[in-house]
């Protein structure tokens, strides 16, 4: 597969998973948030899927940038700006590249995380999706450096993402609507972190069949 085809596969898997798991993500968010996370994500990615054939495919970076603009303009609440920024920064990192290496993917994920930090004024430890995304990216980098093939690296990444998402259960939220609930936010995992884990698991599952 070309870099663009691989990027298309990843984005389509993310989009379909967001639509399929709408209720799960919404129920998680309803515990301490406003419950709109699953709905917002699903509606935004439904539009991505509906407009799939219209996106500029000059290269992987351009494709991600166009996806980002759709997400930012169509996903409501706080999710749109955060997820849109993540795709925008990842797209900028890959823009103009005809081939995408494992190192490029790690760099794109790090760029996405930095974008989320800046946009959400948050960091690891604040009980957000960063608490799964950053450890998962670290694990992907370590797996690739150790010589794991993409399938093995994705498996390792998904395992770490799930453990990291589960670990947010004991944290107190410091950003977003959940932070308004104070200590009541302790005892349930962060919906965004769980979403990252689910997406990583789905990518690992679907990779051999792509």
* Average pLDDT in the chain: 91
Could you give the CA distance from residue 207 to residue 203 in angstroms, rounded to a whole number?
A: 6
Q: How many residues would you count in the chain?
A: 210
What region does 123 belong to: left with phi over 0, alpha with psi -120 to 50, or beta? beta
The proportion of the chain whose per-residue pLDDT surpasses 90, expressed as a percent, equals 75
Architecture of domain 3-209: Alpha Horseshoe (1.25)
Radius of gyration (C-alpha) of the chain in whole angstroms? 16
Could you give the CA distance from residue 4 to residue 74 in angstroms, rounded to a whole number?
A: 23
Burial of 24 (0-12, 13-18, 19+ CB in 10 A): middle
Q: CB 20: neighbour CB atoms within 10 A?
A: 13
pLDDT band at 209 (very low <50, low <70, confident <90, very high): confident
pLDDT band at 180 (very low <50, low <70, confident <90, very high): very low
Question: What's the pLDDT at 33?
Answer: 66
pLDDT band at 184 (very low <50, low <70, confident <90, very high): low
Res. 77: pLDDT tops 80: no
**What's the rounded mean pLDDT across residues 193-207?**
97
Could you give the CA distance from residue 190 to residue 117 in angstroms, rounded to a whole number?
A: 16
Pair of tokens at residue 164 = 């990291």
Burial of 67 (0-12, 13-18, 19+ CB in 10 A): buried
Contact in structure between 161 and 201 (CB atoms under 8 Å): yes
Question: What's the pLDDT at 153?
Answer: 97
Burial of 128 (0-12, 13-18, 19+ CB in 10 A): buried
pLDDT digits (tens, 9 = 90+) for 119-153: 999 999 989 999 999 999 999 999 999 999 999 99
Question: What's the pLDDT at 34?
Answer: 67
**Higher local confidence (pLDDT), 119 or 174:** 119
The whole-model pTM stands at: 0.92
Contacts of 111 (CB under 8 A, 6+ apart): 89, 90, 92, 93
pLDDT digits (tens, 9 = 90+) for 103-128: 999 999 999 999 999 999 999 998 99
Question: What's the pLDDT at 74?
Answer: 81
């Amino acid at each position: 597969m070309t870099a663009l085809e691989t990027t298309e596969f990843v984005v389509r898997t993310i989009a379909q998973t967001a639509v399929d798991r709408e209720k799960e993500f919404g129920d998680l968010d309803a515990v301490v948030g406003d419950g709109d996370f699953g709905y917002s994500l699903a509606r935004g990615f439904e539009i991505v899927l509906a407009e799939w054939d219209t996106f500029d495919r000059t290269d992987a970076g351009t494709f991600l940038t166009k996806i980002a603009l759709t997400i930012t303009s169509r996903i409501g609440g706080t999710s749109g700006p955060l997820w849109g920024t993540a795709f925008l920064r990842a797209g900028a990192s890959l823009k103009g590249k005809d081939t995408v290496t494992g190192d490029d993917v790690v760099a794109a994920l790090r760029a996405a995380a930095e974008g989320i930090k800046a946009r959400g004024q948050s960091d690891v430890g604040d009980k957000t999706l960063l608490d799964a995304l950053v450890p998962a990216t670290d694990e992907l980098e370590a797996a690739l450096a150790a010589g794991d093939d993409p399938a093995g690296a994705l498996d390792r990444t998904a395992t770490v993402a799930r453990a990291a998402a589960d670990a947010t259960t004991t944290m107190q939220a410091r950003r977003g609507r959940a932070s308004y609930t104070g200590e009541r936010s302790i005892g349930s995992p962060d919906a965004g972190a769980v979403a990252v884990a689910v997406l990583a698991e789905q990518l690992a599952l679907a990779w051999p069949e792509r």
